[in-house]
Structure 1
């Protein structure tokens, strides 16, 4: 059996090439290896499916295939299951392709490969040479492939052969009206909106002398013809190079176009598992978030657009070195004399290790001044050759946190690159500063930067705005950049009240906090281990201050290093994009909103998204926070993020959490204004089952939680003054349907304090007893209600109220809260003492009886209480003793 196939996500050139190949191999079956582009699918359904005999892959017996004809591709990674046939080595392979060479190219016994505008051009020429006739429908199909892959003969990859092939197909009856209808398509409203977002997000970077435009968009559903939109943007703005990334549903689509030889977009797309040629390429990315894909793109651009910076141009030379036989004291003198922090160590003239000042000083402090350097140098280190690129240098100095990087010429040390050398280059390298494609759009409502001083004035008290300004003024004096970050900024945009302020300082956060506290006459609590501090103004207002660490530059190409490098790394460690917004506080840019990771866009889209795919692996509590934020703001967890959450739960990451951390997050969920939807989502994601095995979250469980919500609202509307911890009621509701044995395991898993575990177990036991008593007794008197409920805390009584089905019990609890709970006798123990009653257990007995009588309305005055007490004393102690 012969089979003709093409690449995954086939386009018109791919299908036209298959049809053309069928003319050369008339007995072969036409089989797509997978999905097709949307335009092609629509055309196939309406036209091609009836004209050409395509076979579905699902019904194909691969064992019967003896010859495989590949058209419009030769990459093994792009042909789906047919790769298995080639790897098995038992099929003859014929190849027709116009793409450049790639690492995973397949080779065949017949290879027709030529750099023309479309693969169908090659096949058309073979058909013409062999005199094979074409119907008008076939000619139309073939010319459609040429029009698409040459951009209607406007792409720079178009060749004279493409024009000649098209002319021949017109002679064979190709219908140009149909081609015009398919190639020239009106944009839908969705496509126009997406094109507008591309235009707004587009930024131009000058990378090694080449202007590269990068645009990113995010939509929740698939929008077709993304490549058409990117091409339109390229033509509208006359761009030489454009890379567009679109997150649609749970995938990211990359489309790239290039008019210049310096940028081979096919090579870059191949790194994402895609393909194409130097001028046009695409890829579908499944295992990265949009943020990760963008950062990866910048890394590739830096490394593939021939970097002009090498280790030789950055290094310091000649190199100051230490001999392995030198003493630590001698090395210290050299470091002090030349003010250096690290040195290479040579052993018999060859590089053997590195030594830094910190190690030297500590060793000398411990009395080791005369010891050899070789005993304390670091022998585990990296080197680079003089031709190493900037990306290689950054990898060692930043990711591996090596203080200095020896530069070698073969095995000879010729220089070193220090962190200072790298930082100086990054500071002066303007290629990392993006420029908005449309400046008038850069300050739009969802652009990456905008000034929100008007929002500050609208949402915040004047004194808080003044406080923020003073933070910025002090930062200016100390030459630090100061930012408000996180939930405070998020809620500012959402118009939600939030005075929980977090500050990030690009500098020494502790020094900043101490200086501010001294200036304001307040207290600063510092944590040197974490480089953080808390400014304590009063019980209502505390401000957290954190230090942004300048030494981290894992993603230096994405945005300017000088202004934003350290801040970006600080924000990258946060949980969700909506929590990565920052607000500049320095006077020269006060109120500037900074958005590295699309937080504004996700606020607009009402989406909860993580920054990278390992987010839940690093911190599984983020699963619960995602659910909490989703329900608090009325947002929705993004599809990819939801998939990552389910996978994290499935592989048991929540089981690795400590009980206290897990309970802390559950507590936060139950403290929300309405936690019921969040608990329901916990059940949907399988979180509830992991935390509370054997719990049945069914309609009855939901009803219990809704009843708890109802009684808590009743308590609040009743204006009862005693504060209430509503989360405790919800916790009782969640646990109420567990078997006693399972309850103990859950409480132990959550690592609750022993007294709290005992109290919960006691509550469930006593609630059942009390409700049982209410059922057995006739309508109880007020004193009986008081005695039954008085041992319980308000939260436990409200749980009882929510779980009972009897209206008389609810009424009794209501009366307890409103009428009985705070009733007290007017008389006290001293009154009994004055009556001559000797102190002892009788006091409690008398006062309890008086209280019961007062509750039941039998006593109405102090005199009546005294009379009852006197009468009880006579009965209990005898007439003689109770005379007075």
Structure 2
């Protein structure tokens, strides 16, 4: 099946190009991926009637499409549901377009692209080349596309090819009266009123000598053809470029127009995931307020309106750099000698430290004084800087603009920017350099819109009160407000932190409430319990407390603190600190945000480290380069978050994990926190993904050193783990009032081919209690023995099955199902769990005494035999049981 389509909200160029493309593909059907502009809909209804057959999308089987012809766009996200057929086997994709190239363009088997004013101009050239005839009606339709997209041949994007195509269409009989009828019409009273409203909000910005006008408007209802209103306003005011932000029905739209070559509206719209060309473009903005949209637009204008190159003026010279094999101690000496806070690191290990422009060399990272001093504190001074340098860095050319520099230093928190020219390190720009630039020339200072009271996206906080009300239930909101009020009464500040805040921003409810207090967390916890009731348990060493309210709800309270570690992988030593330092000690950026709870600022989100960006990008990032050195258990947590949340460990963070593995940090510690993290991985719904990831990161050799080389992630190993997962899921679906500990099942499954001594070694290493260790060994040995017996023969009698399995715990039974080599074994265990183990005799001790039996050891044997008889169907009623006892146990 062949299909011709265009972009969503199709315009006349898209319509004309589709109809023209059908002359090239006569056996193809035409289908819009979505709606059309109002004028296009009117033209189809009034003029085309039913002369062209447009197939509705719902009648097309996307799986049957083997040739897709896309006109007037190359962007996958703009073709709607048709994007699904791009994965069809051996699909032929043919593209016809006039828009500038972008990074997310589709790649076609056939591409006919030209930098002209309209796509129909491109296809008209193909029709002429192939000498395909065009009717008067077709010429008129094609003319609509050219005249609309080129502004009646007046836009800056108009080319000689557009003029030639229009002339050819006029020769073919294109009717200009029809074209003008649908491209221009008188404004309604409503539209005139809207133009008047636009004039009230218009604000002019002079950027690199170009005057850019930004207007914004909020409408309760959707207004068709708002782009026409924008164009009319631009003509009336004789503007060079105009950017309109209009909010309609809760969604913000950007409409951009330009008449000067210095302003490419298409490039600016692409910053908002929109599209278009140099003179006209649009975008739909999601997940941002009007104020945020305005600020992002202004930054985009500064970036794209050909601003003055400024990096060459700002950079610091001469350059002080080091090769990647320089030791931490040497780097510290240089930082001290030159009184600087960071150094660029070069890949060329043969280069000498230099204070002059270097020969061609690759920048591989930067190392800061803070990281160097921490590393020396941990006795890591002899290690190369390559182990702990920051690798997520960007470089800029001499032609970089102030906007480029601000984005890296302010938005991405990059403290030092290497400036490269012709593969040479010409200099660096630091935060101090940027600050001096802004102070000495306030005209460059970033401007916030909306006046002094308007919030700024550059601020470290914003209010999420509406998100709280939409996501959390009433009782939890009242609890949060009460926590804030109690803190206020005793002069403290209280914050919700960690996963609670992370999940709130993802509109997910999280009942694990962690509270951090600027003040004394223990005093606060005791006061909160006085107010709400419940009980509190305190930990003076860490200044933390655990609260259990009267309804059973639990709250963890901590004092805002700064942790430092005496040596790698040690438990932290705690000092009082502020919320910012407390957040900086967190494991990952996505967990380093706080929610203010005090009444005056209730619902204010605190984000010092641009953590929201990482949450939006689904990235797991550490906050500093020695994070895993100080606490290796964070590696397991990173893997758990990555797989549970479908996030990705950032490239630099993964490099730090490999560095921790190389240092053998897991081999140097018996930190119980590592096993706690491992248990939490095993508590996940699908831990197999995390287990595979741990193996990929070469962590198994540290978690199970005594099992290697026997422990391998081979087919047999994965089969046992999958069976364990299936067994646990099966048990949960039984809805029995019997809790289980999945981590025990997975631990036994991983050690299925291990000896008891290896389990003992593992338990000793991670400080697992002796009685738990003994139980694990007993369950494993018992289940292994039973598994071998059942593999040889499944007992015919239920009583034999009951006797065989009754000494296994639930975890032992599930482990047995995991290692089962025959389906019959799992069926046997299932029968025992669901039926056999619940069978009991109907008689009790009083019944036996009435029959004349004397209580004693014999009673135990009697009840056991009755149960066996009931299991095997030999007795069914109380009377049967009495007769069974009298027969087998003479008085």
> Where does residue 606 of structure 2 map in the other structure?
594
Paired position in structure 1 for 2:500: 488
Query: In the alignment, does 2:884 pair up with 1:868?
Result: yes
The alpha carbon displacement at 1:720 in A equals 2.8
8 A Cα contact 1:446 1:600, kept in partner:
no
Q: Distance in 2 between matches of 1:482 and 1:606?
A: 28
Give 3-state SS (helix, strand or coil) of 2:889's partner.
helix
Question: Secondary structure in 1 aligned to 2:546?
Answer: strand
Match of 1:470 in 2: 482
Q: Deviations over 1:639-679 (max 9, x none)?
A: 11011111101211112232533221111110112111111
Of the candidates 360, 365, 384, which is equivalent to residue 285 of structure 1?
A: 365
Distance 1:862 1:793 in 2: 30
Q: 1:235 aligns with which of 281, 304, 307?
A: 307
Match of 2:737? 721
- Tell me if structure 2 keeps the 8 A contact 1:446–1:601: no
Q: Which 5+ residue runs of structure 2 have no aligned equivalent?
A: 1-207, 211-260, 276-282, 289-294, 317-337, 347-354, 367-388, 394-408, 418-428, 565-575
How far residue 234 of structure 1 moved from its aligned partner, in angstroms, is 9.2
CA drift of 1:236 comes to 8.9
Deviations along 1:38-78, one digit per CA (max 9) or x if unpaired, are xxxxxxxxxxxxxxxxxxxxxxxxxxxxxxxxxxxxxxxxx
1:735 aligns to 2:751 (yes or no): yes
State the Cα distance separating 1:692 from its structure 2 match.
1.1
Equivalent residue, structure 2, for 1:569: 581
Tell me the SS of whatever aligns to 1:235: coil
Question: How much does 1:573 deviate?
Answer: 0.6
The 3-state SS of whatever aligns with 1:613 is coil
Of 506, 509, 514 in structure 2, the residue corresponding to residue 497 of structure 1 is 509
- Helix, strand or coil for the counterpart of 2:754? coil
- 2: CA distance, partners of 1:446 / 1:790: 64
Tell me if 1:859 matches 2:875.
yes
Partner SS for 1:821 = helix
What SS does structure 2 have at the residue aligned with 1:805? coil
Q: Report what 1:770 is aligned to.
A: 786
Q: Which residue of 2 aligns with 1:29?
A: none
Secondary structure at 1:852 match in 2: helix
1:585 equivalent to 2:687? Answer no
Provide the rounded CA distance (Å) in 2 between the counterparts of 1:507 and 1:861.
69
Q: Show the counterpart of 1:704.
A: 720
Select 2:683's aligned residue among 647, 671, 675.
Answer: 671
Determine if the alignment matches structure 1 residue 801 to structure 2 residue 873. no
Query: 1:763/1:532 Cα in 2 relative to 1: closer, same or farther (>3 Å)?
Result: closer
Q: Determine the C-alpha separation between the residues in 2 that align with 1:300 and 1:806.
A: 66
CA distance in 2, matches of 1:243, 1:566: 34
Shift in alpha-carbon separation, 1:547–1:268, aligned structure 2, 3 A: same
User: Counterpart of 2:630?
Assistant: 618
For 1:54-203, what aligned pairs fall within 5 Å after superposition? none
Q: CA RMSD for the aligned pairs?
A: 4.7
Q: Cα offset for 1:269?
A: 10
Q: Report Cα offsets for 1:799-833 as digits up to 9, x if no partner.
A: 11122132222221111112111111011233323
User: Counterparts of 1:731 and 1:640 in 2: how far apart (Å)?
Assistant: 31
Q: Is residue 751 of structure 1 aligned with residue 853 of structure 2?
A: no
Distance 1:815 1:541 in 2: 37
Deviations 1:448-498 (A, max 9, x none): 433211221122121110111122223333343221111110111123331
Render the CA deviation track for 1:333-375: whole Å, top value 9, x for unaligned: xxxxxxxxxxxxxxxxxxxxxxxxxxxxxxxxxxxxxxxxxxx
Report the counterpart of residue 538 of structure 2 in structure 1: 526
Shift of residue 864, structure 1, vs aligned partner: 1.1
Shift of residue 499, structure 1, vs aligned partner: 1.3
Return closer, same or farther for 1:270/1:230 CA change in 2, 3 Å cut-off.
farther
Instruction: Tell me the equivalent position of 2:640.
Output: 628
Q: CA deviation at 1:184?
A: 11
Between the aligned partners of 1:305 and 1:604, the Cα distance in structure 2 is: 28
Within the candidate set 466, 470, 473, 1:458 is matched to 470
Inter-CA distance 447–672: structure 2 relative to 1 (3 Å threshold): farther
Shift of the 447–626 alpha-carbon distance from structure 1 to 2, 3 Å rule, reads farther
Give the distance between the partners of 2:531 and 2:595, measured in 1 at CA. Answer: 23
Query: Equivalent residue for 2:841?
Result: 825
Asked if 2 retains the 8 angstrom alpha-carbon contact of 1:485 and 1:504, the reply is yes
Q: Indicate which of 825, 836, 845 corresponds to 2:852.
A: 836
C-alpha separation between the residues in 2 aligned to 1:667 and 1:823?
A: 34
Structure 1 residues 782 and 506: alpha-carbon distance in aligned structure 2, compared to 1, 3 A threshold? same
In structure 2, the CA distance between the partners of 1:487 and 1:304, relative to structure 1 (3 Å rule), is: closer
Residue number in structure 2 paired with 1:418: none
Question: Residue 236 of structure 2 aligns with which residue?
Answer: none
Q: Spell out, residue by residue over 1:92-112, the C-alpha distance to the aligned partner (whole angstroms, 9 max, x if none).
A: xxxxxxxxxxxxxxxxxxxxx
**2:692 is aligned with 1:680:** yes
Q: Which of 828, 831, 839 is the equivalent residue of 1:812? A: 828
- 1:629/1:468 Cα in 2 relative to 1: closer, same or farther (>3 Å)? same
Moved more, 719-728 or 282-291: 282-291
Show the counterpart of 2:77.
none
Aligned counterpart, 1:692? 704
- Report the Cα distance in structure 1 between the residues aligned to 2:645 and 2:829, rounded to whole angstroms: 34
Inter-CA distance 520–648: structure 2 relative to 1 (3 Å threshold): same
* Separation of aligned partners in 2, 1:767 and 1:503: 44
Cα deviation, residue 235, structure 1 = 3.2
1:752-785 CA deviation, whole Å, 9 max, x = no partner?
2222222222223222221222233354211111
Partner Cα distance (2:612, 2:771) in 1: 45
User: How far 1:628 moved relative to its partner?
Assistant: 0.8
**Post-superposition offset of 1:517:** 2.5
Q: How many residues align?
A: 513
TM norm structure 1: 0.51
Deviation at 1:579, TM superposition (A): 0.4
Return the alpha-carbon distance in structure 2 between the equivalents of residues 194 and 243 of structure 1: 34
Change in Cα spacing, 1:751 to 1:503, as seen in structure 2 (3 Å) is closer
Whether the 8 Å contact between 2:870 and 2:876 is mirrored in structure 1 is: yes
Structure 2 contact 740–811 (Cα < 8 Å) conserved? yes
Contact 1:270 1:283 (8 Å CA) reproduced: no
Find the counterpart in structure 2 of residue 650 from structure 1.
662
Q: CA deviation at 1:510?
A: 2.9
Separation (CA, whole Å) in 1 of partners of 2:649 and 2:783 = 38
* Inter-partner Cα distance in structure 1 for 2:730 and 2:586: 38
The CA deviation string for residues 529-588 of structure 1, in whole angstroms up to 9 with x for no partner, is: 333333321363122222225999xxxxxxxxxxx9921101001100000011111222
Distance 1:517 1:192, change over 3 A: closer
Change (3 A) 1:839 1:480: closer
Distance in 2 separating the partners of 1:482 and 1:647: 37
Q: If the length of structure 2 is used for normalisation, what is the TM-score?
A: 0.51
Q: Partner residue of 2:179?
A: none
Mapped partners of 1:872, 1:625: distance in 2:
60
